[in-house]
Amino acid sequence: MNVSCRMSSRRSRGSVLVTTAIALSLIVITLLGTQIGYLMLVKRELQKTADLAALSGAQSLQPFSCTDAKSAAVTNAVQNMPPLLPPLAAADVECGNWDPDKREGPQHFGAPDTGQFFNAVRVQLSRTPALLLPSISGGQPFTLTVQALAAQRQPLASLSIRSTLLTVDSKQSDLLNALLGGLLGGSLTVTAAGWQGLLDTNVKLLSFLDQLKLDLNISAANYDQVLATNVDAGVLLQAMITVMERSGATATASVQALKSLLVSVQAAPFTLKLADLLGVASGTDAAGLSTELQLFQLVQGMIQVANGKNGLAADVPVTVPGIANITTKVRVVEPPQVSAVGNPALINASLGVGDPNRIYVRTAQVRVLLSVDLSKITGVLSNVLSTVTAALSPIINFLNSVLTLNLGTILSDLVATVACGGIFPACQVTQVIYAEALPAPIDIGISSGNGSALVTGHACNAADSKSLNVLANTSVARLNVGTVSNIFSSSQPATAAPVRIVEIGYREAKFDSCVLSLICSPKKWKTASGTFVENIANAKKTVISGLGLVVNSDIGGSVSGTALTYISPSAANLPEIDAAPYDGVGPDPSFKAISASSIVKSLGSTLGGIQIRPYSSDSSGILGGLLNGTLSLISNLLSTLQTMINNALGPLLDPTVNALLDLLGIDLAKAEIGARLSCNRGAELVY
């Protein structure tokens, strides 16, 4: 009995000891966990302190001075340093240059090299916090080390092109529908109010790209994939519509215009990459895409990009008062780039447009061919013909003065002889001159020059003082008048050959018989087969020469370019990237004209100065080289014809055709370049 009790007592004591040991172990583990948790909490607070101090320092960092950055970092750390720890010292703050492209990882940080400047702040903290339970860890201190690297967000600059076309009336609306519809290979039915709405409405680029990311199911953080994806034009237009409707513009004219365009594009679908239209530097963050674009410029640019790929020459119906037969064809040779965003600090101005980091926009390069049949204009044909007929004798004298022709005898009419034919010798065959007025249409080819703008430099100074330097260039436009066959070639410049205003030649004729120069049988004309017939319409014509005109003239263009400088502190002169659209009085000062010279006016003066000259001709009427005869013999005739043709061509540049050229962007005086620059964009943690 006693033995049994003693054994039970020993078992109980053993059980208590085991339980106590387990409990003590759990207590120790809990205390150790508390100690570790405390240290982790302190380290997290230290990391937060370092992060915020680095960000504060980077925001105050000057390009060549670290003083303000260190002061800002130390001040910020005072507010965030965990209690009972030494404050952040200036020695814990280091300024340097962060360059992920040129410096080795993982931090890509170091002292600035030649030509570089401070753009990042690194904060390193090593602190030894007091232990909650020093006896648990044997009293050994734990040193916690953290570091943070914050870099300044780089400046961002943007350029955009807009049309200064202010209003669209019904006539211009019809032209736009025919023009842009023809470039697409289809038709458009947008109203004048719709086009006006597109002119008056801007869309935020960021909202547009965000909507496209959703529509295309793209999950990438940046927008590079959106810009590089081939997208159906209908998807692009629908994204614009969605963005506009989300902003409350459901029933506006601009939305209705976009919906009309969507219907037309779905009937003649095409795809394009937004990168072909918008120049956005790779990796540009959302803040850099907060600029706005004119809807009209965006839609017109899309269509011009499409035409640059499909190669269609659009037939555009143009009606000019007094001219019945005029055809117009249009083709985009080089599409526009209507907007560009990038880091101006990366630009190497010496590389020009070859710089991979360029911020560059340009207008479209367009070619237009007007073909005019002046013979259908009332009075022109008869006036030219009567003028030439009255000058046949001077023409004959001139032709005889051209030794290389070796014409022999040419007469203005068949002359009777004393006696020929019948019992007399056969009547002589005579060369009788003829002149045919306006036998061919006159082609007027216009190759528009590009208007372009390139950021060449910037300055981000103290406070809000900043500037952006832009070089605007206008390439030479070209006017070709005559016979133009290669206007739409993308591999060679357009060239005109002389076109005939008057065709000059002779027919061969004779009398069957004449008696005493008084009685002659009817004139008979030699045909191509060698027989003689009475009907002059069947006579063979031998072309000798032609009075023709040709113009191959360069118009406008800038050799050295025009410097455009956008300067703030007046915020409207050089707004922030994400600034709201200008709503002040008068023109938007952030837009500047790309060219002061009007190409349309230059075209008019060039057309008004054409000259008519005598040319050789082959048997088909194609004009060759200039004839070196005695021009004074026909100078009065040439002068009179020039006046007639100038007066006939003058109406071509009436408001209707001017509007067509304006809508195409040919008149670079109607294009403006807008600039924006954000310098102080804060900082971000990069390590």
pLDDT tens figures, 341-395 = 988 988 888 898 888 889 999 888 888 888 888 877 767 888 888 888 888 888 8
Amino acid at 399: L
Average pLDDT of the segment spanning 240-258: 85
Does residue 271 have a pLDDT over 70? Answer: yes
Residues 143 and 236 in one domain: no
Specify which of 356-360, 565-569, 578-582 reaches the highest per-range mean pLDDT.
Answer: 356-360
Domain count, the chain: 2
Residues 109 and 221 in one domain: no
Coil, helix or strand at residue 505: strand
Residue 409, domain member (yes or no)? no
Residues 68 and 177 in one domain: no
pLDDT recorded at residue 31: 60
Does residue 96 have a pLDDT over 90? Answer: yes
Residue 354 or residue 154, greater confidence: 354
* Measured CA distances, 221 to 150, 284, 480 (Å): 20, 11, 50
Residues 268 and 143 in one domain: no
Instruction: Give percent above pLDDT 70 in the chain.
Output: 87
Per residue in 487-540, pLDDT (tens digit) is 888 777 788 999 999 999 899 999 888 887 677 888 899 999 999 999 999 999
Instruction: Say if residue 106 is preceded by a cis peptide, omega within 30 of 0.
Output: yes
pLDDT recorded at residue 120: 93
pLDDT recorded at residue 456: 93
> Do residues 682 and 153 touch, judged by C-beta distance below 8 A?
yes
Specify which of 315-319, 361-365, 541-545, 619-623 reaches the highest per-range mean pLDDT.
Answer: 541-545
> Do residues 663 and 297 touch, judged by C-beta distance below 8 A?
no
Out of 82-86, 422-426, 479-483, least confident range: 422-426
Average pLDDT of the segment spanning 27-50: 77
Contacts of 401-410 with C-beta under 8 Å, sequence gap 24+, read: 401/629, 401/630, 401/633, 402/545, 402/627, 402/628, 402/629, 404/616, 404/627, 404/628, 405/544, 405/545, 405/616, 405/627, 407/431, 407/544, 410/506
Mean pLDDT score of the chain, rounded to an integer? 83
* C-beta atoms surrounding 419 within 10 Å: 16
DSSP, res 344: G
Residue 427, domain member (yes or no)? no
Residue 559, domain member (yes or no)? yes
Structure tokens at 313: 């020459």
What is the rounded CA–CA span in Å between residue 536 and residue 673? 63
Coil, helix or strand at residue 313: coil
pLDDT recorded at residue 34: 66
Maximum CA pair distance of the chain?
Answer: 184
Per residue in 297-352, pLDDT (tens digit) is 888 888 888 888 777 778 887 766 666 567 888 888 888 888 889 889 888 888 98
Expressed as residue numbers, the domain containing 184 is 157-376+440-504+514-681
What is the rounded CA–CA span in Å between residue 93 and residue 66? 9
Residues 272 and 130 in one domain: no
Which of these three, 119, 151, 183, is where a domain ends?
151
Which of these three, 151, 185, 217, is where a domain ends?
151
Residues 303 and 371 in one domain: yes
Does residue 165 have a pLDDT over 80? Answer: no
> Do residues 334 and 307 touch, judged by C-beta distance below 8 A?
no
> Do residues 472 and 499 touch, judged by C-beta distance below 8 A?
no
pLDDT recorded at residue 72: 93
Residue 466 or residue 600, greater confidence: 466
What is the rounded CA–CA span in Å between residue 168 and residue 662? 11
Bridge partners (DSSP) listed for residue 93: 123
Contacts for 60 with CB less than 8 Å, ≥ 6 apart: 68, 69, 71, 72
Does residue 39 have a pLDDT over 80? Answer: no
Out of 69-78, 106-115, 229-238, 410-419, least confident range: 410-419
Average pLDDT of the segment spanning 233-261: 87
Residue 390, domain member (yes or no)? no
Residues 141 and 178 in one domain: no
Does residue 15 have a pLDDT over 80? Answer: no
Average pLDDT of the segment spanning 610-614: 87
> Do residues 139 and 31 touch, judged by C-beta distance below 8 A?
no
Residue 435, domain member (yes or no)? no
DSSP, res 286: G
Out of 276-290, 593-607, 615-629, least confident range: 593-607
| Residues 95, 99, 104, 108, CA torsion sign | positive
Amino acid at 592: K
What is the rounded CA–CA span in Å between residue 157 and residue 566? 11
DSSP letter string, 475-503 = PPEEEEEEEES-TT-SSS---EEPEEEEE
Does residue 469 have a pLDDT over 90? Answer: yes
What is the rounded CA–CA span in Å between residue 365 and residue 449? 6
Average pLDDT of the segment spanning 542-566: 82
Per residue in 625-642, pLDDT (tens digit) is 888 888 888 889 999 998
Residues 47 and 173 in one domain: no
Residues 62 and 206 in one domain: no
Q: What is the dihedral of CA 210, 212, 218, 219, to 10 degrees?
A: 10
Residue 405, domain member (yes or no)? no
Does residue 663 have a pLDDT over 70? Answer: yes
Q: How confident is the model at residue 223 (pLDDT cuts 50, 70, 90)?
A: confident
Q: How confident is the model at residue 25 (pLDDT cuts 50, 70, 90)?
A: low
Phi, psi of 561 (to 5 degrees): 85, 165
Chain centroid offset of residue 187 CA: 23
Residue 653, domain member (yes or no)? yes
Which of these three, 151, 179, 204, is where a domain ends?
151
* Measured CA distances, 411 to 336, 431, 494 (Å): 59, 6, 40
Residues 112 and 167 in one domain: no
Does residue 221 have a pLDDT over 80? Answer: no
Residues 32 and 171 in one domain: no
pLDDT recorded at residue 558: 60
Q: How confident is the model at residue 403 (pLDDT cuts 50, 70, 90)?
A: low
In a 13 Å sphere around the CA of 303, the CA atoms on its Cβ side amount to: 31
Does residue 611 have a pLDDT over 60? Answer: yes
Does residue 102 have a pLDDT over 70? Answer: yes
pLDDT recorded at residue 243: 92
pTM score, whole prediction: 0.74
- Helix H or strand E encompassing 158: strand 156-163
Amino acid at 193: A
Residue 35, domain member (yes or no)? yes
What is the rounded CA–CA span in Å between residue 474 and residue 13? 102
Does residue 238 have a pLDDT over 90? Answer: yes
Residues 127 and 166 in one domain: no
Average pLDDT of the segment spanning 62-85: 89
Average pLDDT of the segment spanning 464-472: 87
Does residue 74 have a pLDDT over 90? Answer: yes
Residue 657 or residue 137, greater confidence: 657
